[in-house]
Amino acid sequence: MIKNNKLSISCCTLLLLLSVTTQAAEQCSLVAQATPDEAKSYIQCLDRQIESLTRIQQTWVNKITLDLNTIEEETGNTQLLPIFKRSMASQNKYLEDSCKWRYLQKVPNATQAAMVYKRCEIRILEQHIEVLTQPIK
């Protein structure tokens, strides 16, 4: 619980976050010999998954940032938040680089390249959300 009239993160809020996380897993499927319209719909579905996962990830980042601010106020430890922020920047760069080489491997087929990049992004976002949900204390 965050003190001093700041945003309060309660057990109910955490349960809501967890339920939203499980709801984010919209299933996207593509048949082997997909038409261009089917491929487009599949890519749009992947985009919706990415948008949802990114929103969930940001919610957890905000919660952890608030928690680390509280810990800093209570203990005077000013090292935690800058390291967390640096880890977030590194995570974003890792996602981009990990998916980019997969994308480039599929070029010049732009549709296949986009699909590979987006599936990679989804996997990494899901993994990162799992890490973020681990308790601090």
| pLDDT tens sequence across 22-63 | 455 568 887 778 888 899 999 999 999 999 999 999 999 999
CATH 1.20.1270.180 fits 35-132, yes or no: yes
| pLDDT tens sequence across 99-111 | 999 999 999 999 9
* pLDDT for position 90: 97
What φ, ψ does residue 10 adopt, rounded to 5°? -100, 175
Range 117-123, long-range pairs (CB < 8 A, 24+ positions): 118/43, 118/46, 118/47, 118/49, 118/50, 119/46, 121/50, 121/95, 122/46, 122/49, 122/50, 122/53
CB 28 within 8 A of CB 39: no
Distance CA 50, CA 20 (A): 14
